[in-house]
Amino acid sequence: MTYEEAVHYIEEIPMHTKKTELSNTRYMLKLLGNPQERMSVIHVAGTNGKGSVCAFLSSICRESGRRTGMFTSPHLLDIRERIQIDGELVTEECFASACEKMCRLAEQMIAEGYQHPAYFEFLFGMAMDIFAEAGIEMAVLETGLGGRLDATNAIEHPQVTVITSVSMDHMEYLGNTIEEIAAQKAGIIKEGVPVVYWADNPAVAAVIEKTAAGKHAEMTALTVKDYQIFKIGNKNIDFCAFCRYYENSIFTIPFSASYQVSNAVLVLETIAALNQSLPENERISMETIRKGLQKTVWPGRLEEVQPGIFVDGAHNEDGIRAFIDAVKAENRCGEKILLFSAVKEKNYEKMEKLLSESLHWKGIILTEIKGGRRLAGDVLKKLFCEYTGTAVELYPDIRTALEEAQKKKGDADILYCIGSLYLVGEIKGLIKEKEAAHD
């Protein structure tokens, strides 16, 4: 099987098909030789920030000398972004070989009365097999959707579980109240395994704490009171942590978005919890933690892809709020231009209202993402026109929308491209394509 054939096969698996049972995933892992038993696991769930938390954790574990695997979703440009070893994408040959093995395994599962692994489940199986073959010592796993029924929750004995900020998202799958959604996220908590969680919402915290108490899991709750930001620069943020043995310690992260500080503080406490389970001579030092945070790379989060052009993966109400706060905190000179798109399942009306009321835009440009989740541009335009007096333009494809936005942008202006990770991925691809043409 070639790499191209592998990608085509995976993309033909319905991404949003009926979710398989965890028993299906556990049997898949059994057929793979239970690779999860050959590595330590940090398991991360939440609505916003879980990918960034995984990136921070992976970087620190690598810096400690541990061979580290990271499994995340979605990808922006390359499907191999989902399966990384020591911060690098797995090779095309490795990816194709793992896919071919999973294809044979899927046939065996069907023959034995099990279901073909779903899209995410299939990739998870590939990742765990690749990690085991590569001798991974620490695997950082991000849930795909929810937690309780997520394929990654087939891991029964993680070292630590982490729950980032929880908000209203994916209600069609997870529930119609914040408590119902929190219960799904809290489903990753395991018997006797420490849980570190963001506790800014009392209703969410109450659900997590009740679940953790029932599982005899040590709890570490964090809020904005546990850190202070000292300086926000164009490329980094200095902050002080007030939690555990980090009391009054100063750290630097290589991001300008203020929301990344709360993610970093969650990571500090996760490493502290991990250290408690390790012999003293194997614990991760403060210096290693500092270096790991500083070396973290995570694309698509208030990322400057060209001078004055930023992409951000904010794609729900809380994500938009965090984006707005980050833009205000940066206080960059120049007028702001918005390039926006969204998928139809999101609360795009609330997202547009927040963007219109909280920031002043020189211009707003709308477009549509590709595929079945596409939201008609005229729906987006109608709402923006209700919320703002700024000129709103609509272009049917992302390439044209980006070109027009760049024409509108003056040298001192800033273009923000947000609303969907699909939009972010395509814009990064278009800019990369343009830069390659100039080389």
* Predicted confidence (pLDDT) per residue in 253-283, tens digit: 999 899 999 999 999 999 999 999 999 999 9
* pLDDT score of 244: 75
* pLDDT score of 16: 45
Angle at 351 between CA 349 and CA 355, to 5 degrees: 120
What are the beta bridge partners of residue 222?
Answer: 198
Number of H helices, E strands in the chain: 15, 17
Whose structure tokens read 């989740």? 373
Residue 427, pLDDT above cutoff 80: yes
Which of left, alpha, beta for 51 (phi over 0: left; psi -120 to 50: alpha)? Answer: alpha
348-386 tens-digit pLDDT? 999 999 999 999 999 999 999 887 778 889 999 999 999
CATH 3.90.190.20 positions along the chain are 303-438
Domain at 303-438: CATH code: 3.90.190.20
Under the banding of pLDDT at 50, 70 and 90, the label for residue 18 is: low
Q: Is 154 exposed, middle or buried (0-12, 13-18, 19+ CB in 10 A)?
A: buried
DSSP assignment of 258-287: THHHHHHHHHHHHHHHHHHTS-GGGSPPHH
The identity of residue 355, as a single letter, is L
Give the integer Cα–Cα distance in Å for 439 and 436: 5
Q: Which CATH number fits domain 3-294: 3.40.1190.10, 3.40.640.10, 3.90.1150.10, 3.90.79.10?
A: 3.40.1190.10
407's CB contacts (< 8 A; 6+ apart) are none
118-158 tens-digit pLDDT? 999 999 999 999 999 999 999 999 999 889 999 999 999 99
Q: Average pLDDT over the chain, rounded to whole?
A: 93
The verdict on pTM exceeding 0.95 is no
Residue 210, pLDDT above cutoff 60: yes
Structure tokens at 268: 């500090």
Strands (E), 284-408: 303-306, 309-311, 336-340, 363-366, 392-394
* pLDDT score of 331: 78
Average pLDDT of the segment spanning 178-204 = 96
* pLDDT score of 159: 97
Give the integer Cα–Cα distance in Å for 239 and 261: 7
Average pLDDT of the segment spanning 247-251 = 87
Give the integer Cα–Cα distance in Å for 139 and 40: 6
Under the banding of pLDDT at 50, 70 and 90, the label for residue 7 is: very high
160-178 tens-digit pLDDT? 999 999 987 655 567 679 9
CATH 3.40.1190.10 positions along the chain are 3-294
